[in-house]
Chain A
């Protein structure tokens, strides 16, 4: 099998796996317990916090572990809105955010007292800083724009938006789930107040998310219960998952520059190889401001879902954002926001390479994609 869907999830690294394993078996203590057995687990959590903080230029106290990126995103949006529950407030986000942001925005909007502006993007999927400026209202309290898109890999001008928002009494959140571990991320350079990430996107275990909250900001808890995570996020710590997050982020940072170069080269081989056989193929998203290992390709006149399934039959895993699961075949909201037609949006597949993909696999994928495309076309 060739796994080329690393934007969906990644294989845990050997190092992260080995480091988390003792905390599932021998060192299974509760990090909140006061005896030594628990203290060891607590120390492991704090070490991981240090690793995560160092990776994104944050302070230890600014890092909170959650169950995943979706929880962290929901937490920021819902609880910032809750902070202003007696006021009528305005939130700005983009039309191409992950559903954990979009659906949280819609939910709080329906709750009343909150108006949300969903900013458009250009044909490459970039949010304009000018559009952010123009959308600001007297009661804007939060701007939430993702750092890198999960379907097309487009990287947003977060530091420029952050620079504009600085000193304006508007909180700034970025969903960095696809970016952390893959491109340099520094919370001060980005000038964000909140940043969210997820361990399984950078070769850590599933089930551990990260919320960066700038020191001094107030964010009410989303989950109530015990005093874990300095009273911010209740629930017994997922020690093993947290250890994997710390280990994996450290490892990803250490390999980042080399990996980015390698992945970019593999994407280039893939795109050029496919273009040679299928000249009409279209690259969706930005070609310059894009994650190194990801590309979204459109194949005019065919179904991306069919292509994905045929590749699956050949042992190649890629993804399509348009999938018929319950009789509804919905096109991707991201691709529609780029201005693509419904048919064009349904013709796309996403290839996302990661640490365990090889250059030879990229060549195999080119051959498999071209072969599957020919089968679909020849059936006409």
Chain B
């Protein structure tokens, strides 16, 4: 699968969690992806919030993470 980079800062090789967060929080079919920091800035939340969400999604068995 082609590696994805951050739409804002250009960070390369986004992690599965970063890709999963963009899909889960913005659009499952999103073509633009964000690194954790840029997504937090875009959504106006702390990165800790997003990491906590990742943990919750994993606990719920979501395959995006």
- Chain A residues within 8 Å of B, Cβ to Cβ: 302-303, 305-306, 309-310, 312-314, 324-327, 329, 375-376, 379-380
- Cβ contacts under 8 Å, A380 to chain B: 27
Determine if B63 is an interface residue (Cβ-Cβ < 8 Å): yes
Q: Are B43 and A327 in contact (CB under 8 A)?
A: no
Determine if B25 is an interface residue (Cβ-Cβ < 8 Å): yes
With both chains docked as a complex, state the minimum distance between the C-beta of B26 and any C-beta of chain A, in angstroms: 5
CA distance A202 to B45 in the complex (A): 34
Q: Are B62 and A376 in contact (CB under 8 A)?
A: no
Whether A310 contacts B27 in the complex (CB less than 8 A), given A324-B64, A325-B61, A325-B62, comes out as no
Q: Are B49 and A376 in contact (CB under 8 A)?
A: no
- Cβ contacts under 8 Å, B24 to chain A: 305-306, 309, 324
Whether A326 contacts B32 in the complex (CB less than 8 A), given A306-B25, A306-B26, comes out as no
Q: Are A313 and B43 in contact (CB under 8 A)?
A: yes
Whether A327 contacts B63 in the complex (CB less than 8 A), given A309-B53, A310-B43, A313-B53, comes out as yes
* Choice from B26, B60, B61 contacting A376 with Cβ under 8 Å: B26
Q: Are A313 and B45 in contact (CB under 8 A)?
A: yes
Determine if B28 is an interface residue (Cβ-Cβ < 8 Å): yes
- Cβ contacts under 8 Å, A375 to chain B: 26, 42-43
Whether A302 contacts B60 in the complex (CB less than 8 A), given A309-B53, A313-B49, A375-B42, comes out as no
With both chains docked as a complex, state the minimum distance between the C-beta of A22 and any C-beta of chain B, in angstroms: 36
Count of residues in B whose CB is under 8 Å from the partner chain: 18
Interface residues of B in 1-45 (CB under 8 A from A): 24-28, 30, 32, 42-43, 45
- Chain B residues within 8 Å of A, Cβ to Cβ: 24-28, 30, 32, 42-43, 45, 49-50, 53, 60-64
Dominant SS among interface residues on chain A = loop
CA distance A329 to B32 in the complex (A): 21
Chain A residue at minimum C-beta to C-beta distance from B42: A375
- Cβ contacts under 8 Å, A309 to chain B: 24-25, 53
Chain B residue at minimum C-beta to C-beta distance from A375: B43
With both chains docked as a complex, state the minimum distance between the C-beta of A154 and any C-beta of chain B, in angstroms: 28
With both chains docked as a complex, state the minimum distance between the C-beta of B44 and any C-beta of chain A, in angstroms: 8
* Choice from B27, B32, B43, B53 contacting A302 with Cβ under 8 Å: B27
- Cβ contacts under 8 Å, B53 to chain A: 309, 312-313
CA distance A325 to B53 in the complex (A): 13
Known pairs A305-B24, A326-B63 / 11 extra A-B pairs, C-beta < 8 Å: A303-B27, A303-B28, A310-B25, A312-B53, A313-B53, A324-B64, A325-B61, A326-B62, A375-B42, A376-B26, A379-B27
20 examples of A-B residue contacts, CB within 8 angstroms: A302-B27, A303-B28, A305-B24, A306-B24, A309-B24, A312-B53, A313-B25, A313-B43, A313-B49, A324-B24, A325-B61, A326-B61, A326-B62, A327-B63, A329-B28, A375-B26, A375-B43, A376-B27, A379-B30, A379-B32
Chain B residue at minimum C-beta to C-beta distance from A309: B25
CA distance A309 to B56 in the complex (A): 11
| Pairs A-B, 10 closest by C-beta atoms | A327-B63, A326-B61, A379-B26, A325-B60, A313-B45, A309-B25, A325-B61, A376-B26, A306-B25, A313-B49
Chain A residue at minimum C-beta to C-beta distance from B32: A379
With both chains docked as a complex, state the minimum distance between the C-beta of A316 and any C-beta of chain B, in angstroms: 13
